[in-house]
């Protein structure tokens, strides 16, 4: 891929932000941009694993949303277990409970991912049709199991006291939680890029995405690596779900399947297999959703689909498709 | 597939089935029972509810069989089949609710719904299949969710969440009684006419689908499913064939939708567009047997029966396991989808050919493949 092909999608994100800037008052733009960035970062956490799993092993997991749901419920359960830490006005305790919730979400979703990869995914390598069917079935079962465990009603997820309310910047109200979510997402993105670019495992993963057979021919075992990526992706999706539920202040068993459409749109826009692409795709979806929701509320529901259609017409493989896919 | 005798030597019955039989005595028997029960449902069952259930089975046979054209014969997974089902139903509902119960409104409405569904089917296919077949699944999922949202948001046209209630042409309306006395023990009324309209249209559509999958067109679809690259190399435009299959399946689903609207004299997002119906269709086709057409038909009948009998069975197990709360929660009657989901996963993992496919594999009539 030529450098210019890589920079164009970045410019597109900036262009969308600039268009938003031109189309609305400055304070609204600032508020909405912050909201869009936070939403984009949370989406990125959810899709990073999905896109890498696809890139590495050509496995498309329709049950990825289940990891989001279970992560969200794990966070909700942790918050409910330690109400004094949630209500505390000391920021250390607030961050402690946030870290605990994220850890619980990552552990639960990661463990589920580990089991799911061993029991189910392994049996359907290389068969797209059966993968889609099996993982769709798994999403149904997971949603029903979530109802069995946590009940059919929505569970409230109270965010820590220190993260309620807003900052006032240049006359624009920006919710504190959104800033934290955006910063955390950015941190994970940079960490992931660092690992992929500079560690030995990261290099093998990237090589595997480009050409799996060649990496195997060189003597590396891709399967255990894939299992590791699958678990890590599930854990990230769990954290993403926990953050999403904390923001929404509520979680239901259908959270994962509700978000499935959105995360697929992000993955398609970004290009299957590309972490950088899905990052840009997530930002685009976050910004466009918020801008359009403000400028033309009636179009809000269609905006993501239209965005996806436009990007596919421009680049049929998505913004930064990896491995010639 | 099956032995292929020249058309002239084939019996009328075999020609009606386009030379494609269920392929195993058990499957043939199940199909015969299904057709017999559906053909004489108004005579066999007294209550209107039972007959309505039979009509529902007939509609779902068409819906599942048309989905099989995509899933089993073309090898692409669509999540938008309920969208096309809904388009047909909304076409009828909007036309009849808007301009009264006339046949012309019925035809215009269904033609509009069916035509729009076919166009949308082609559009989605061209946009996604141009790149990779796997995009098709994801994009249909997205488009289906948009359709659902639009149906509940465009309140002025679709009636929103409440849906549309409407009257059907007099000949099909329950208040239509040409004879005061029952004829041969059967009350002739609009309900009966509606039932047989649904039955006949469903039967014709099913036979049409059989014809289609056993035609040269159907063979190309199967060739693409088995080896896309090779089919392309042989000179078949894979995108064109897949898009056409998508359009035909969409149109068939829309016709099933018009029948559903006529049956219920109502249409709303939950009755035709909901994702749970999509899941039902998937279960019917996969458990029955992908790529057999008979499988989805049997699957549709089994699913409707399962919905009747699974809930009481679970209720019984839930009461039995009441001392163990978590176990009991798993057996709650509302959790039937959990068990069907498990069954679905097991079938995909261990019996991907489904009921009819597995029977065929060991069938007496199965020949060289």
Kindly list the structural domains of chain B, giving each domain's residue range(s) and its CATH number in brackets, ordered by start: 22-176+184-368 (1.10.3470)
Residue B134 sits at the chain A interface (C-beta within 8 Å): yes
Residue pair B129/B266 in contact (Cβ under 8 Å)? The answer is no
Which run of H or E residues covers position A174?
A: strand A172-175
Partners of residue B135 in chain A, C-beta under 8 Å: 268, 312
What is the rounded (10 degree) CA torsion for B95, B98, B103, B109? -10
3-state secondary structure of B11: coil
Out of A60, A130, A301, whose CB is closest to B348? A130
Strand pairing class (A250-251; B164-165): unpaired
- The rounded radius of gyration (Å) of the Cα atoms in chain B is 21
Contacts of A58 (CB under 8 A, 6+ apart): A126, A128, A212
| Bridge partner list, A12 | none
Of the candidates A44, A10, A294, the residue with the CA atom closest to the CA atom of residue A188: A44
Q: What is the C-alpha to C-alpha distance for residues A309 and B61, in angstroms, rounded to an integer?
A: 33
Q: Which residue of A has its CA nearest to B282?
A: A133
pLDDT at A233: 92
Residue pair B330/A149 in contact (Cβ under 8 Å)? The answer is no
Q: What is the per-residue burial (b if ≥16 Cβ within 10 Å, else e) of A108-143?
A: bbbebbbebbeebbeebeeebbbbbbbbbbbbbbbb
B338 vs A148: CB contact, 8 Å cut-off? yes
Residue B150 sits at the chain A interface (C-beta within 8 Å): yes
Partners of residue B153 in chain A, C-beta under 8 Å: 301
CATH 3.20.20 fits A3-314, yes or no: no
Distance from B93 to chain A by nearest Cα, in Å? 24
A257 vs B153: CB contact, 8 Å cut-off? no
Q: Is B197 exposed, middle or buried (0-12, 13-18, 19+ CB in 10 A)?
A: middle
Of the candidates B293, B275, B287, the residue with the CA atom closest to the CA atom of residue B348: B287
Of the candidates A116, A111, A100, A121, the residue with the CA atom closest to the CA atom of residue A242: A100
Strand pairing class (B266-267; B164-165): antiparallel
Residue pair B146/A301 in contact (Cβ under 8 Å)? The answer is yes
Out of A120, A261, A313, whose CB is closest to B142? A261
Contacts of A155 (CB under 8 A, 6+ apart): A73, A76, A80, A250, A251, A252
List C-alpha distances in Å: A277 to A4, A10, A12.
Answer: 14, 9, 12
Distance from B63 to chain A by nearest Cα, in Å? 18
Q: What ranges do the domains of chain A cover?
A: 3-314
Residue B182 sits at the chain A interface (C-beta within 8 Å): no
- Report pTM: 0.87
Out of B75, B76, B337, whose CB is closest to A144? B337
Of the candidates A211, A10, A244, A206, the residue with the CA atom closest to the CA atom of residue A109: A244
Question: Could you read off the pLDDT tens digit of each residue along chain A, which spans 325 residues?
Answer: 566 677 888 888 888 888 888 888 888 888 899 999 999 999 999 999 898 888 877 888 899 999 999 999 999 999 988 888 888 778 888 888 889 999 999 999 999 999 999 998 888 887 888 888 999 999 999 999 999 999 888 888 888 887 777 777 777 788 888 888 899 999 999 999 899 889 998 888 888 888 888 989 999 888 888 899 999 999 999 999 999 999 888 899 989 988 998 999 999 899 888 888 999 999 999 999 999 988 888 777 788 888 988 888 888 888 887 654 4
pLDDT band at B195 (very low <50, low <70, confident <90, very high): very high
Q: What is the C-alpha to C-alpha distance for residues A223 and A226, in angstroms, rounded to an integer?
A: 5
Q: Please measure the distance between the N-terminal and C-terminal CA atoms of chain B and give it in whole angstroms.
A: 5
Neighbours of A313 (CB within 10 A): 10
Report angle CA B98, B102, B108 to the nearest 5 degrees. Answer: 70
Residue A265 sits at the chain B interface (C-beta within 8 Å): yes
Partners of residue A132 in chain B, C-beta under 8 Å: 77, 134, 137
Distance from B354 to chain A by nearest Cα, in Å? 12
Residue pair A107/A81 in contact (Cβ under 8 Å)? The answer is no
- The rounded radius of gyration (Å) of the Cα atoms in chain A is 19
Q: What is the C-alpha to C-alpha distance for residues B196 and A212, in angstroms, rounded to an integer?
A: 57
Q: What is the C-alpha to C-alpha distance for residues B262 and B99, in angstroms, rounded to an integer?
A: 15
Name the least confident of A6-20, B50-64, B252-266: A6-20
Q: Does the pLDDT at position B183 exceed 80?
A: no
Q: Which conformational region is residue B265 in: left (phi greater than 0), alpha (psi within -120 to 50 degrees), or beta?
A: left
Out of A134, A147, A305, whose CB is closest to B143? A305
A261 vs B279: CB contact, 8 Å cut-off? no
pLDDT per residue as tens digits for the range B206-256: 999 999 999 999 999 999 999 889 999 999 999 999 999 999 999 999 999
Neighbours of B6 (CB within 10 A): 6
Residue A309 sits at the chain B interface (C-beta within 8 Å): yes
Residue B50 sits at the chain A interface (C-beta within 8 Å): no
Q: What is the C-alpha to C-alpha distance for residues B186 and B48, in angstroms, rounded to an integer?
A: 12
Q: What is the DSSP string of A265-316?
A: HHHHHH-TT-HHHHHHHHHHHHHHHHHHHHH-GGGHHHHHHHHHHHHHHH-T
Residue B146 sits at the chain A interface (C-beta within 8 Å): yes
List all residues of chain A from 6 to 45 with a beta carbon under 8 Å from chain B.
none
Q: What is the C-alpha to C-alpha distance for residues B63 and B81, in angstroms, rounded to an integer?
A: 8
pLDDT per residue as tens digits for the range B66-92: 999 999 999 888 999 999 999 999 999
Strands (E), chain B: 164-165, 266-267
Q: Which residue of A has its CA nearest to B137?
A: A132
Q: Does the pLDDT at position B154 exceed 50?
A: yes
B138 vs A301: CB contact, 8 Å cut-off? no
Contacts of B314 (CB under 8 A, 6+ apart): B331, B332, B333, B335, B336, B339
Q: Which tops the pLDDT comparison, B10 or B355? A: B355
Residue A140 sits at the chain B interface (C-beta within 8 Å): yes
Q: Does the pLDDT at position B368 exceed 70?
A: no
pLDDT at B198: 95
Q: For chain B, what percent of residues have pLDDT higher than 70? A: 93
pLDDT per residue as tens digits for the range B290-304: 999 999 999 999 988
Residue pair A114/A231 in contact (Cβ under 8 Å)? The answer is yes
Residue A136 sits at the chain B interface (C-beta within 8 Å): yes
Probe site for chain B from A63, A123, A124, A133 (most B CB atoms < 10 A): A133
Partners of residue B349 in chain A, C-beta under 8 Å: 120, 123-124, 134
pLDDT per residue as tens digits for the range B111-151: 999 999 999 999 988 877 776 777 888 888 888 988 988 88
Which run of H or E residues covers position A175?
A: strand A172-175
A152 vs B334: CB contact, 8 Å cut-off? yes
Of the candidates B123, B119, B148, the residue with the CA atom closest to the CA atom of residue B136: B123
Neighbours of B176 (CB within 10 A): 17
Residue pair B61/B205 in contact (Cβ under 8 Å)? The answer is no
Q: What is the C-alpha to C-alpha distance for residues A248 and A68, in angstroms, rounded to an integer?
A: 13
Handedness of CA B149, B155, B161, B164 (dihedral sign): negative
Residue B286 sits at the chain A interface (C-beta within 8 Å): yes
Report angle CA A16, A18, A19 to the nearest 5 degrees. Answer: 65
pLDDT at A89: 77
B341 vs A140: CB contact, 8 Å cut-off? yes
pLDDT at A174: 84
Partners of residue A137 in chain B, C-beta under 8 Å: 341-342, 344-345, 348
Q: What is the C-alpha to C-alpha distance for residues B73 and B64, in angstroms, rounded to an integer?
A: 13
Q: Which residue of A has its CA nearest to B130?
A: A316
pLDDT per residue as tens digits for the range B307-322: 777 777 888 888 888 7
3-state secondary structure of A19: helix
Distance from B40 to chain A by nearest Cα, in Å? 35
Residue pair A93/A165 in contact (Cβ under 8 Å)? The answer is no
């Amino acid at each position: 891929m030529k450098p210019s092909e890589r920079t164009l999608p970045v410019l597109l994100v900036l262009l969308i932000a600039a268009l938003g800037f031109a189309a609305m008052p400055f304070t609204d733009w600032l508020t909405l941009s912050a909201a869009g960035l936070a939403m984009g970062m949370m989406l990125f956490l959810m899709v990073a694993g999905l896109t890498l799993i696809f890139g590495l092993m050509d496995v498309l997991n329709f049950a990825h949303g289940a990891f989001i749901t279970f992560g969200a419920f794990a966070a909700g359960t942790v918050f409910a277990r330690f109400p004094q830490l949630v209500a505390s006005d000391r920021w250390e305790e607030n961050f402690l409970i946030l870290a605990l919730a994220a850890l619980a979400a990552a552990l639960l979703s990661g463990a589920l991912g580990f089991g799911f990869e061993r029991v189910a995914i392994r049996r359907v390598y290389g068969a797209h049709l059966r993968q889609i069917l099996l993982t769709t079935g798994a999403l149904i079962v997971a949603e029903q199991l979530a109802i069995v465990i946590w009940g059919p009603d929505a569970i409230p997820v109270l965010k820590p006291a220190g993260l309620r309310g807003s900052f006032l910047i240049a006359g624009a109200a920006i919710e504190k939680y959104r800033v934290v979510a955006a910063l955390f997402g950015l941190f994970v993105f940079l960490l992931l890029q660092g690992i992929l670019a500079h560690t030995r495992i990261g290099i093998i993963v990237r090589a595997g995405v480009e050409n799996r057979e060649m990496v195997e021919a060189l003597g590396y075992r891709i399967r255990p690596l894939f299992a590791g990526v699958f678990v890590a992706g599930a854990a990230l999706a769990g954290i993403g779900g926990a953050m999403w539920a904390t923001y929404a202040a509520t979680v239901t068993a259908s959270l994962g399947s509700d978000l499935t459409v959105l995360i697929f749109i992000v993955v398609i826009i970004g290009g299957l297999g590309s972490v950088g692409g899905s990052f840009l795709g997530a930002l685009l979806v976050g910004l466009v959703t918020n801008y359009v929701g403000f400028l033309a509320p009636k179009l809000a529901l269609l905006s993501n689909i239209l965005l996806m259609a436009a990007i596919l017409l421009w680049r049929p493989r998505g913004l930064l498709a990896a491995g010639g896919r | 597939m099956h032995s292929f005798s020249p058309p002239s030597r084939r019996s009328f019955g075999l020609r009606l089935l386009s030379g494609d039989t269920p392929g195993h005595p058990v499957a043939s028997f199940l199909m015969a029972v299904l057709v017999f029960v559906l053909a004489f449902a108004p005579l066999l069952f007294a209550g209107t509810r039972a007959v309505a259930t039979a009509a529902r089975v007939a509609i779902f046979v068409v819906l599942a069989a048309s989905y099989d054209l995509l899933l089993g014969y073309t090898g692409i997974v669509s999540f938008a089949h309920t969208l096309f089902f809904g388009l047909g139903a909304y076409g009828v509902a909007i036309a009849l609710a808007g301009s009264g119960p006339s046949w012309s409104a019925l035809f215009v409405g269904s033609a509009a719904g069916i035509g729009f569904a076919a166009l949308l089917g082609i559009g989605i296919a061209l946009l996604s299949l141009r790149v990779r077949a796997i995009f098709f699944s994801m994009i249909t999922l997205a488009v289906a969710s948009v359709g659902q949202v639009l149906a509940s948001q465009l309140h002025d046209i679709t009636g929103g969440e409440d849906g549309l209630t409407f009257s059907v042409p007099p000949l099909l309306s329950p208040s239509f009684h040409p004879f005061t006395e029952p004829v041969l023990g059967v009350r002739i009324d609009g309900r009966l006419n509606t039932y047989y309209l649904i039955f006949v249209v469903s039967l014709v559509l099913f036979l049409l689908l059989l014809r289609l999958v056993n035609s040269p067109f159907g063979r190309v679809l199967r060739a693409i499913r088995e080896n896309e690259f090779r089919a392309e190399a042989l000179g078949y435009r894979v995108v064109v064939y897949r898009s056409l299959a998508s359009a035909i399946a969409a149109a068939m689903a829309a016709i099933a939708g018009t029948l559903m609207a006529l049956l219920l004299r109502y249409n709303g997002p939950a009755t035709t567009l909901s994702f749970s119906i999509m899941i039902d269709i998937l279960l019917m086709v996969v458990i029955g047997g992908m790529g057999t057409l008979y499988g989805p038909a049997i699957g549709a009948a089994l699913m409707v029966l399962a919905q009747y009998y699974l809930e009481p069975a679970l209720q019984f197990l839930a009461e039995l396991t009441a001392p163990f709360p978590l176990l009991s929660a798993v057996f709650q009657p509302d959790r039937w989808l959990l068990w069907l989901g498990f069954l679905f996963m097991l079938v995909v993992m261990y019996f991907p050919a489904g009921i009819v496919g597995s029977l065929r594999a060991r069938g007496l009539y199965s020949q060289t493949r």
